[in-house]
Chain A
Amino acid sequence: MSKFRKNGKKGMPAISTASLPDIVFMLLFFFMVTTVMRETTLFVSIITPKATEIKKLQKKSLVSYIYIGPPIKRMQSSYGTAARIQLNDAFASVDEIQEFIASEQEARDEKEIPYMTTSIKADETVKMGIITDVKQELRKANSLKINYSTRKGAY
Chain B
Amino acid sequence: MASNRRGLPEINAGSMADIAFLLLIFFLVTTTMDQDTGIARKLPPMPEEEQEKPPEIKAKNIYVVLINSNNQLLVEGEWTEISQLKDGAKKFINNNGSDPASSDSPQKAIISLQNDRGTEYMTYIRVQNELAAAYNELRNDASLNKFGERYTDLNKTQQKEIRKMYPQKISEAEPKNIGGNE
**Which A residues have a C-beta under 8 Å from some C-beta of B?**
17-18, 20-21, 24-25, 27-28, 31-32, 34-38, 48-49, 51-57, 60, 63, 117, 119, 122-132, 135, 138-140, 142, 144-152, 155
Please tell me which one of the listed residues B118, B126, B128 contacts residue A129 in the complex, with CB atoms under 8 A apart.
B118
Instruction: Find the A residue at minimum CB distance from B119.
Output: A128
Q: Is the CB of B13 within 8 A of A49?
A: no
Contact of A49 among B36, B40, B116, B126 (CB under 8 A): B126
Q: Contact check: which of A60, A150, A155 meets B39 at CB < 8 Å?
A: A150
In the complex, chain B residues whose CB is within 8 Å of the CB of A55: 37-40
Of B2-10, B24-32, B56-64, B99-107, the one touching chain A? B24-32
Residue of A nearest to B130 (CB): A53
A54 to B126, CA, bound (A): 12
Stretch with Cβ within 8 A of A (4 or more), from B42-50, B87-95, B158-166:
B42-50
Known contacts A49-B126, A149-B36, then 11 further A-B pairs from the complex at CB < 8 Å, ordered by chain A residue: A17-B17, A18-B13, A24-B20, A28-B27, A34-B31, A37-B30, A126-B120, A128-B119, A147-B36, A150-B125, A155-B126
| Size range of the chain B interface in the assembly | 35 or more
Nearest-CB distance from A134 to chain B (Å)?
10
A63 CA / B40 CA spacing, docked (Å): 12
Minimum CB–CB distance from A97 to chain B (whole Å) comes to 13
User: In the bound complex, do residue A150 and residue B38 qualify as a contact, i.e. CB atoms below 8 Å apart?
Assistant: yes
B26 to chain A, nearest CB (A): 9
CB <8 Å contact, A128 and B118: yes
Complex: chain A residue closest to B129, CB-CB = A51
Given A139-B43, A139-B45, A145-B42, does the pair A21, B16 have CB atoms closer than 8 Å?
yes
Chain A proximity of B15: nearest CB distance (Å): 9
Residues of B within 8 A of A31 (CB): 24, 27-28, 31
Main secondary structure of the interface of B (DSSP, over half): mixed
Inter-chain CB contacts under 8 Å: number: 148
Q: Please tell me which one of the listed residues B21, B31, B117, B126 contacts residue A128 in the complex, with CB atoms under 8 A apart.
A: B117
- Are B37 and A128 interface neighbours, CB within 8 A? no
Give 19 A-B contacts (CB < 8 Å), ordered by A residue.
Answer: A35-B31, A36-B31, A48-B38, A53-B129, A53-B132, A53-B136, A57-B35, A122-B121, A124-B122, A126-B121, A127-B117, A129-B118, A130-B182, A131-B124, A132-B174, A138-B43, A147-B41, A148-B125, A150-B129
Chain A residues in 8 Å Cβ range of B128: 51, 148
